[in-house]
A and B are shown apart, each in its own frame.
Chain A
Amino acid sequence: MDDKKLQNLQDEAKNLRRDILLMLSESGSGHPGGSLSAIDVIAYLFLAEMRYDPANPGWEDRDRFILSKGHAAPALYAVLAYRGYFSRKLLKTLRKLGSPLQGHPDSRKLPGVESSTGSLGQGISVAGGIALAGKIDKKDYRVFSLVGDGEIEEGQVWEAAMACAHFKLDKLCLFVDNNGLQIDGLVSDVMSVYPIAEKFKAFGWNTLEIDGHDFNQIESAVETFKASAGSGKPTAVVCKSVKGKCISFMENKASWHGIAPNKEETEKALEELGCVETLEDWLRED
């Protein structure tokens, strides 16, 4: 991609990271590590690839994104707000009583959320069903989904992997956020899922392995997926990523899976991102 596009994406991703941190700080709970590892892929899809209309979330021909690792909800919320599905002000209500920004995404409460997720392993099956419906109706929409690397320990993921290949769902593209960590530690220690790409390949998928924070690589993976239309194979992109990416004290630490940064940590993180806006500024905003 050209330098301008790259710079724009990097700037936007930085702002989305800022919003993730701010909303988690305000909520006092949530999942920063996996939100920060997944945000670059999510940002690329929503900012550079997918066809959708925030003013008409139910548009039949829209591309769909299913966040199977639902605990990365802040990453999804940040990008949905940025693209105008709802006011950025709502980010302040994350995880609070009555908020449409539930702890895990709820399709019944928030526009832009295609399916409720959070119980691991289920989003990929739902994504498969949506892709199958598109195939029955001869629609052109694509279905993107993102699973965690720990998540693929769930047996349902492999039931779905089998079915997506069996039904030749080549308009389905799955990203595996391979940050190498799950709640209890290293994925390789808790329950190894490796080799990931080879497993999907054996299940009949096109597979790619990329750096999940490199927009050029994300773009070329998406282009490869698009070129595979008609191949009869779904595509799995294994994204090597860093849990807590861009925040020095969060990077590669399983302990940042499910706790929110406090005020000082948030200020420090915002400073590392080079944000002008402070937590106070944000809280004062209307």
Chain B
Amino acid sequence: MGKSEMVATRDVYGKTLVEMGRENKNIVVLDADLSGSTKTAAFGKAYPDRFFNMGIAEANMMGFAAGLALSGKTVFASSFAMFATLRPFEQIRNSIAAQNCNVKIVATHSGISVGEDGMSHQSIEDIAIMRALPNMNVFVPADGPSTAFIIREATRINGPVYIRLSRPATPVIYNPDTYEFQRGKANIIKDSPRADVALLAIGTLLHEAIHAAELLEADGYSVIVADFASIKPIDKEALVKIAKASRLIVTIEEHSIIGGLGGAVAEVLSEEYPSHMMRIGIMDVFGESGTPAALFKHFGLTADDIYRKVQKAIR
């Protein structure tokens, strides 16, 4: 559990794009005037004939992405999560998802960890709306190494993929030599045949969940921890197995408790194996300005917060 190494998933995205662009001449990358922040600028520098800055016009960017994909291109379209999903949602629906276009929407600066820019830039609904689209795959990598793997994996899927990345550098969780991602499969990080609690997490909060699990274990509780980076499709089999083995299911995400991981897990379990659940996330409120660390504390998303909430529920 590398406390020392910190990597921003968006940096890994930029590097991975450049690597992939070398092998795959079919990749075209679009951005909407945020290429320095989303890190697609590196691809633009390496392959200027396959990079297009669409300006501050996300609706049109998604339409162009669809047209390029209909012409056989593998398209990456990037912006901040707010402007890559909520702004051009209907274009993504009608031009991209409905035609099963081979477009990878890779959004950075998701959730509240955008930080100081505040509410207008803090997307806490993007997983919910992207998940609602037929054909759409929704992946949320938890660290640098998994981001590299998942970005590559997205190009092996012939259809639309939404990948949610973050602004700040976050702790490296996985060993790049051993990490594997499979669409529709959860990654069980800590298993237990009979757990007091299962912590299901995504993205920036997986690391917090792992740390919270250590605190709970120190109190003598047995804990399952799982990474649900593939939110759609979701691993129903693993969910039911975890639910059968656990007294309490806790979902942990830097997203609204409505429609994100919590929503997806509740949908499955309420039908397949009704379970006692607790959703930890943004509690149906908007974000605000502050440092990412201050905001995680404010919204109760740190390992300590998770530990306290869970401990109260299971003691």
Q: Residues on A close to B: CB < 8 A? A: 60, 106-108, 114-116, 118-119, 121-134, 136-137, 155-156, 159-160, 162-163, 166-167
Contact = CB atoms under 8 A, between A and B. Distances in A.
A137 B73 CA distance: 10
Counting from the closest, the 5 A-B pairs by CB-CB distance are A129-B67, A125-B63, A133-B71, A159-B60, A129-B64
Nearest to A125: B63
Nearest to B60: A159
Tell me the dominant secondary structure on chain B's binding face: helix
A272 B28 CA distance: 52
Contacts of A126: 63-64, 66-67, 70, 95
Contacts, number: 99
Interface in B49-102: 49-50, 52, 54-55, 57, 59-60, 62-73, 90-91, 94-95, 98-100
B68 A133 contact: yes
Contacts of A137: 71
Contact of A128 (B63, B72, B91, B98): B63
Interface residues of B, number: 28
B60 A134 contact: no
B206 to A, nearest CB: 35
Contact of B65 (A115, A123, A129, A134): A129
Contacts of A128: 60, 63-64, 67
Given A122-B91, A122-B95, A125-B91, A115 B67 contact: yes
Contact of B94 (A108, A118, A130): A118
Given A133-B73, A163-B55, A119 B64 contact: no
A231 B219 CA distance: 74
Contacts of B94: 116, 118-119, 122
A162 B99 contact: no
A90 B150 CA distance: 43
Contacts of A108: 98-100
A134 B67 CA distance: 10
A119 B90 contact: yes
A107 B70 contact: yes
B71 A129 contact: yes
Given A108-B99, A122-B63, A129 B90 contact: no
B307 to A, nearest CB: 47
Contacts of B54: 163
Given A125-B63, A133-B73, A156 B68 contact: no
Contacts of A116: 94-95, 98-99
Nearest to A143: B67
A162 B185 CA distance: 42
Given A122-B94, A132-B52, 5 more contacts: A107-B99, A116-B95, A130-B67, A131-B67, A133-B71
A164 to B, nearest CB: 9
Contacts of B99: 107-108, 115-116
Contacts of A106: 98
Contacts of A121: 59
Given A108-B100, A126-B67, A132-B67, A155 B59 contact: yes
A166 B53 CA distance: 10
Nearest to A134: B71
A134 B62 CA distance: 17
A132 B70 contact: no
B73 to A, nearest CB: 6
A129 B66 CA distance: 7
Contacts of B68: 129-130, 132-133
Contacts of A134: 71
